[in-house]
Amino acid sequence: MSDLSGEIIDNRYQLIRQIANGGMASIYEAIDTRLDRKVAVKIMHPHLAQDDAFVSRFIREAKAAAALSHPNIVAVQDQGWNQNGVPAVFLVMELIEGHTLREYLNERGRFEIIDAINYLTPILSALAAAHALGIVHRDIKPENILISKEGRIKIADFGLARGELIGSTMTAESSVILGSVSYLSPEQVQRGIADARSDVYAVGIVAFEMLIGEKPFIGDSPIQIAYMHVNQETPALRTKRKEIPEALETLIARATDRDPDKRPRNAGEFLVALEAISIVLDPKKNQLKLDLDLPVEPIREKPRGKVKKVVEEVIEKTVEVVEDAKSLKHSEEKKFKSSKRVRRNRKVALVLAIALGIGGWYTLIGPGSRIVVPSTIGGSYNEAVSAFNPLGITSIIVEKRFDEEISKGAIIESIPPGGGRIENGASVTLIISKGPERYIVPTLKGLTPEAAKRAILKYPLVVGKVSVVFNSEIPQGFVITSTPVSGVQVKRDSLVNLVVSKGVETIAVVSFVGKSAEQALNELTDAGFNVESVFAFDEKILAGAVISQTPKGDASIAKGARITLVVSKGSQYVYIPNIFSIEEAKAVRVLKDLELKVVVKKLGSKKIKKVTNISPKIGSKVKRGSTVTITVG
């Protein structure tokens, strides 16, 4: 996001200078022109202002802080959308002039025990007020703890806060990503949930860092650190610093316990326990508390170099000359000299007024007049034109560039950037996103490998490995498919692997004539053939054995081909069995098992009838399916 210093937001807030810049927003020192006071204005990056989830989080930060009234919480004073000039979603807060706890940690290393408790007390007091209203901060870390020049502790950035008063529109997953992994509780990492005990855990980690001078878990990557929070206990304080009281070590261990149920239930309970330890360490605190500001040790400023040294030398010499001149004058000349100085000052003022007038003419309407280019990042071309036309900017050069993050058609940057100045008639270049750089894998099926490679190399893609497999549809030597498949969009320099056909796979088949049809069926099916069985009578081949097969055995056949087996049903002739004196039902069953048709003639009145006669006679050779007549009585 370009620097918006000098812009006026909402016709009220004059941005002076940028004091912080993050992944979601930039913070400016500003003047509230209506109330004539300094404020901090937080402005969301333009490309995020199009995302409802981010805007919801931004507004929720305002609601979360506005719902709280506590001397140790940064007060939110206003929130809105800039309707004129640069499109912006903004948040107005009280301006805290000072430093963050992170800067103090970097400066000091570790804190004295009493100092650490004195810093933790207002932090917990502020969180206790939030927890009492059902609001959970969820992003406590040294960067969000401010220390004013007067020594007042302030908690900022309730952007991840959740509670009944402010709603909860962000997902658990996004909150885990946005939070700082070094201070995330195990339940936030594992399940994406957070309550007051999660804030207690984060304060416990901050306390550990203040007392020891380093974080309890240090790793090469955020994932490794998150794993440590979930699977390892926080190191005991006294193993790293012997003079820490045992009661304080026990309290911090409770606050950073992996099991939320073993921690203090909220910041208020944590604060009560910490104050009890503080009174033991310093009995004088067992008096009426006034919550005075902390004595602040200023952060050491970096030397400004030769310029500062030269200025100081000039001032010293000037003072010496003035002092020497004064020592040479008599006291009676002071009145005369004073009046001469007044006349001189008037001349200087006149010269300055003339110079300012000439400078104003040159800047505003003379050769030096220039147009301030508004910020257009994240907007569309049409929106940029709408912003440029009232300013007289009509010469717009458009360049397009691929971008993995900025959506197609949105402006990535402008030349000059927002806030820059151009002369009348000068052009502004807009770099517009073409979206992510992607290329479609061409159709390669049915091509030879050489033709497929040429088709791939027409794009900024790379030919990968070529593998060959059997295939019954694509002829040998032609491409079957690719990985990724044709039609898929891929990034520049992506590998495209080819799969080429070896043709139809053939298998040598033996002859199963005279062998068991069941054995033939199992072996041929396992080999990948499509087997069909038909049945026929045969006077020589036993029933259940193979009479013939097509194609014949002892040949190489394509895998998956159809093989037909002719299976013997045995002889088509049978001999009439001896069934005299056998009960009717049993006799009928024996004849039908021989595939004969049976006609029964009944004589007499016996309940159980037996065979008394059979035609054809016993031992006759007949075809299966012939009719046999039996007489029972």
Nearest to 34, CA basis, from 6, 5, 18, 11: 11
**Contacts with 1 (C-beta within 8 Å, 6 or more apart), sequence order:** 21, 26, 43, 45, 46, 375, 377
What 3-state class would DSSP assign to 387?
helix
Which of 174-178, 216-220, 231-235, 308-312 has maximum average pLDDT?
A: 231-235
How many Cβ atoms from other residues are within 10 Å of residue 516's Cβ? 14
SS3 of residue 498 by DSSP: strand
- Checking if the pLDDT of 319 tops 60, the result is no
99/432 Cα distance (integer angstroms): 38
The overall average pLDDT reported for the chain is: 82
Contact in structure between 543 and 568 (CB atoms under 8 Å):
yes
Span of 233-242, 410-419, 588-597 with lowest mean pLDDT: 410-419
CA distance 598 to 613: 13
- Residue 540: pLDDT over 90: no
- State the helix-helix crossing angle for 196-212 and 246-255, rounded to 10 degrees: 140
Which DSSP category does 279 fall into? Answer: H
Q: What pLDDT, in 10s, does the model give residues 34-65?
A: 998 999 999 888 777 777 777 777 777 677 66
* Cα distance between the two ends of the chain: 112
Average pLDDT over residues 334-347: 54
Nearest to 405 by CA among 138, 13, 23: 23
E strand intervals along 363-472: 371-372, 396-401, 411-415, 421-422, 428-433, 439-440, 462-469
Which DSSP symbol is given to 49?
T
Q: pLDDT band at residue 156, thresholds of 50, 70 and 90?
A: confident
DSSP 610: B
Please check the confidence at residue 632 and state whether its pLDDT lies above 70: yes
* Structural contact between residues 167 and 60, judged by C-beta atoms closer than 8 angstroms: yes
CB atoms within 10 A of CB 556: 10
What whole-number distance in Å separates Cα of residue 445 and Cα of residue 32?
67
Catalytic annotation, residues:
139
Report the sign of the C-alpha dihedral through residues 272, 274, 276, 279, in that order.
negative
- β-strand pairing of 411-415 with 428-433: antiparallel
What would the mean pLDDT of 181-200 be, rounded to a whole number?
87
Instruction: Enumerate the β-bridge partners of residue 153.
Output: 147
Phi-psi region of 134 (alpha: psi -120 to 50; beta: other; left: phi over 0): left
Q: Would you state the pLDDT for residue 46?
A: 78
**Segment 454-470, tens digit of pLDDT:** 999 999 999 999 999 99
248 CB neighbour count, 10 Å cutoff = 22
Does residue 313 register a pLDDT over 60?
Answer: no
485-496 in b/e form (b: 16+ CB < 10 A) is eeeeebeeebeb
Res. 560 pLDDT band, cuts 50 70 90: confident
pLDDT for 28 equals 92
Give the rounded distance of the alpha carbon of 67 from its chain centre.
30
66 has a pLDDT exceeding 80: no
At 56 the pLDDT is 77
For the stretch 245-286, pLDDT in tens is: 999 999 999 999 999 999 999 999 999 999 999 998 877 665
**Position 311 pLDDT exceeds 50:** no
Model confidence at 163: pLDDT above 50: no
pTM: 0.47
- What are the residues whose beta carbons fall under 8 Å from the beta carbon of 611, sequence distance 6 or more? 579, 580, 581, 582, 584, 587, 630, 631, 632
Residue 9 pLDDT > 60, yes or no?
A: yes
